[in-house]
Amino acid sequence: MAPTEDYVDGVCREATRRRAEIAASAAIDTLYFGGGTPSLLPLPWIGRIADACGSRRYKEWTVEVNPDDVTPEYAAGLRGLGVNRVSMGVQSLSDDMLRWMRRRHSADGARQAFRALRGAGFDNVSVDIIFGINGMSLALLQDTVREILEWRPEHISAYQLSIDDGSALRELNKVGEYLPLEDDDCLEQYQFICSALAAAGYEHYEISNWALPGKRALHNFTYWDRFPYVGLGPGAHSMVSESERTWNSKDLKDWKTGGEVLTEWEIWEEKVMLGLRTSDGIPEKLLSERPPEDEDDYTPGEYIPDPSKYISRLVPADKPGHLRIPESDWFVADDIISGIVGDNWIYGTLD
C-alpha cells in the first residue's frame, strides 16, 4: 500500500472511531481540508474522508489548494464531490517573489487556476497573499493586490511573513543572509492592504481576513467563538468542550492523542485573545469577569498589574454590548491583547 493511501486509511479510521464527537459538533455544519496540501490527494480519496466523517453535504466545505494542482478537470471534480469553497495560496503575483518563496506555481499558473475554479462554478473562493517580506517592495505588493481585486474573490487572507524556528528562513536569518523587513515598512504594507480592500467593498472582519458581504469564513468562527470541533490526522487539534482540548501527535504511523483541561483563567484569557482579533470584539462584561490568575508570575515593583491603559484603546463594536480594537490599531493588536490579559504589564511595552 502506498504511504499516502495508508495515511488516508488512517484518517478514515480515526473519523469512524470519533463519529460521536463529529456528530456532537455538527451544529457548525462545516468541513475543512487543510493544514497541508490536500490538493495533492486524488479526488476519490477526498471523497472517502468526507464519507468517513459522515457526509458530503455541508453548509461550508472548504478544501485548500495549491494553484499548480488546479486544472479545469480537478476543479470540476471538487465541485462534483460537493466542495463549495476553495482556499488557494497565491501568495504573490511576482514570479521573482514566488521563486524566492520556493513556491511551485507561477503567477500565470495562479491566474489559470482561479479561472479554472470560476469555470467549474465555484462562487466562494478565498485567496491567500503574503506581505512583510524583505525584498518585496510596496509597489510589488500593490501590483498583486490590485490584480487580485480584479479577480474579485469572495474572501482574501493576508499574512505577514514570520520567521519560524526550524525553518530554512530562520537558518538564513541566523547567518545574516535574511533580515526581517522593518516594522514601519510592514505597517505601511498592511495599511495599504486595509485601505485597498475597504475601497473594493471587502469587510475586514479579522486581523488577517477580509470578505465580501455574506462571505465570511464560517469555519474560522468555530475556532474564534470556541465551539467544539474535531481535528483529524497527525498534529490535529480538537475542542471537546469549552474547557477540554485534545491533540494528535505528529507521528505519521501512530498519532496518539494527548490533551488538557483548561483552567477558568485560561478560558477567560482565550476568549479575550480570540475575540479581540475580530471586528465583533468581545462582550464588554467579559472584562469585569476576570477570574483569579493561575499563578503569580509578577515580581513586585517590576510589573504593573493594571490593564486600564490597554482597555482604553478599545472602541464600541457594531455588535451591541461589545468592544473591539479599532482597525487602525490592529497591527499592534497582539500588544494590546497582551496588556489586557497581563502578559506585558511592563512600563514602555505599548506606545
Least confident of 147-151, 174-178, 328-332: 174-178
Q: Are residues 100 and 49 in the same domain?
A: yes
Q: Are residues 154 and 241 in the same domain?
A: no
Q: Are residues 212 and 303 in the same domain?
A: no
The CATH number given to whatever domain includes residue 17 is: 3.80.30.20
What total number of domains does the chain contain?
Answer: 3
Q: Are residues 28 and 120 in the same domain?
A: yes
Q: Are residues 186 and 57 in the same domain?
A: yes
Q: Are residues 78 and 149 in the same domain?
A: yes
Pick the closest to residue 51 from 7, 25, 12 (CA basis): 12
Q: Which residues share a beta bridge with 91? A: 129
pLDDT score at 52: 96
Q: Are residues 213 and 312 in the same domain?
A: no
Least confident of 161-165, 269-273, 291-295: 291-295
Q: Are residues 191 and 238 in the same domain?
A: no
pLDDT bucket at 346, cuts 50 / 70 / 90: very low
Q: Are residues 111 and 251 in the same domain?
A: no
Q: Are residues 102 and 212 in the same domain?
A: yes
Q: Are residues 138 and 240 in the same domain?
A: no
What is the domain range of residue 274?
A: 268-351
159 Cβ neighbours under 8 A, 6+ residues apart: 128, 129, 130, 131, 208
User: What are the start-end ranges of the E strands in 302-351?
Assistant: 315-316, 322-324
> pLDDT, tens digit, for every residue of 8-26?
999 999 999 999 999 988 8
Residue 345 has pLDDT above 80, yes or no: no
For the chain, the average pLDDT equals 91
pLDDT score at 306: 75
Give me the percent of the chain exceeding a pLDDT of 90: 78
> pLDDT, tens digit, for every residue of 120-130?
999 999 999 99
> pLDDT, tens digit, for every residue of 288-330?
998 887 655 555 445 545 789 899 999 999 999 999 999 999 9
pLDDT bucket at 1, cuts 50 / 70 / 90: very low
Residue 143 has pLDDT above 60, yes or no: yes
> pLDDT, tens digit, for every residue of 83-120?
999 999 999 999 999 999 989 999 999 999 999 999 99
Give me the percent of the chain exceeding a pLDDT of 70: 93
Pick the closest to residue 109 from 138, 139, 88, 87 (CA basis): 88
pLDDT score at 349: 43
Q: Are residues 307 and 210 in the same domain?
A: no
